[in-house]
Structure 1
Amino acid sequence: MKVAVAISGASGVRLGIKTYEKIPETYEKYLIVNENAVKVAQKEEKEKIFNNSHIWEKPASGSFGLDALMIVPCSMNTLAKISVGISDDLTTRTASVMIKERKKLLLAPRELPFSPIALENMHKLSMLNVIIAPPVLGYYSEPKNLEDMENFIIGKWFDLLGIKNSLFKRWEG
């Protein structure tokens, strides 16, 4: 399975990086980041990293066969662009391809509260089978620290995409 994580916006970048890092090694994984983050990531990661301004890269093509894309965090700007079909960078182009190919696309919007415009955009995308999954904590997982909270959120996202994981304590009734 080919899985990509795109990081848009500034707040929540840590969660995007952790999501990428927690994808099991049995998956082919890719990271899409903005120019400044690329420089840092290339020094820290040995994985396949794409510059968001390089719209011609492999994930932008349906024939590449990406199975899932997670945009973590997803800025309201990126969400709005995707909802109206603007594909002006690698993240939005790849999202457009995922919708066109009917592949799994998960957006983790990072606003609080959501504006009526953002909610309208999310509703529109959810009607196209895009998964809208803000980073919301489930207290039944009994988190003890920030890492437990992040693992719960990432584990729930992986569940939605069919990525096997044991990152959090599951509900036992």
Structure 2
Amino acid sequence: MKLIVAITGASGVALGKKFVDCLPEDIEVHVIVSDNAFTVESFENRKVTLHASEDIAASVSSGSFRVDATAIIPCSMNTLAKVACGISDNLATRVAAVALKEQKKLLLAPRELPFSAIALENMQKLAALGVIIAPPVMGYYSDVSSLEEMEEFIVGKWFDVLGIENSLYERWEG
């Protein structure tokens, strides 16, 4: 599997990094970081290909690069609005536009709370196009006892919707 992970904004970068760190080693990972995100975290624990947000001509910006899925974690409201309006002015919004046109899986993890009516409208518009809107929502039913376990639950749910096998959280046995 070939996966693009874009990290936009500075708030919530730890979840984006955890998502990347928890990925199975056999997944080829291309990471796009905004300037704000890059100053907050680095990616030294895992082999990834880093792309600068302003590098709109990077290999991942083309549909012929053939990725299986794209995830924007966290997804700033600015990025969400641009994707909803078809604006591709940086690499993160460009790879999202490519995912839409190529009909590939696209997961957006909006990070702001509460959501404005405009943000909800943008999310609805994108969801109608098949985009997976998956904010990092705590699952109290997951019987976790620490913040780290909660983060693993959230990352595990994101992996699930992208078709990535994982055992990051305890599954319901019924």
Opposite residue 88 of structure 2, the aligned amino acid is: S
Distance 1:118 1:144 in 2: 31
Give yes or no for the alignment of 1:72 onto 2:73: yes
What's the counterpart of residue 139 of structure 2? 138
* Structure 1 residue 63 corresponds to structure 2 residue 81: no
Alignment of 1:30 onto 2:30: yes
SS at match of 1:167: coil
What are the Cα deviations for residues 50-72 of structure 1, in whole angstroms up to 9, with x where unaligned? 11110111111000001111101
Deviations 1:127-161 (A, max 9, x none): 00000000011122211111100000000000000
Give the superposition deviation at 1:41: 2.6
Q: 1:108 to 1:171 in 2, by over 3 A?
A: same
Off by >6 Å, runs of 4+ in structure 1:
none
Match of 2:10 in 1: 10
Q: Is the 8 A contact 1:38 1:49 kept in 2?
A: no
Q: Which runs of 5+ in 2 are unaligned?
A: none
Q: What does the per-residue CA deviation read over 1:17-50, in whole Å, with 9 as the maximum and x for residues that have no partner?
A: 1101111001111111023544763666542111
Separation of aligned partners in 2, 1:147 and 1:23: 16
2:148 matched residue in structure 1? 147
Q: TM-score, normalised by structure 2?
A: 0.94
1:9 Cα deviation from its structure 2 partner: 1.1
Which range is displaced more, 135-144 or 65-74?
135-144
Q: Give CA-to-partner distance per residue, 1:82-133, whole Å, 9 cap, x none.
A: 0000000000000000000000000000111110000000000000000000
In structure 1, C-alpha distance between the alignment counterparts of 2:13 and 2:38, rounded to whole Å = 12
- Corresponding letter in the other structure for 1:140: Y
Aligned to 1:156: 157
Letter in 1 for 2:18: K
The answer to whether the 8 A contact 1:6-1:70 is kept is yes
CA RMSD of aligned residues (A): 1.5
Q: Percent identity?
A: 60
Change (3 A) 1:114 1:37: closer
- What is the aligned residue count? 173
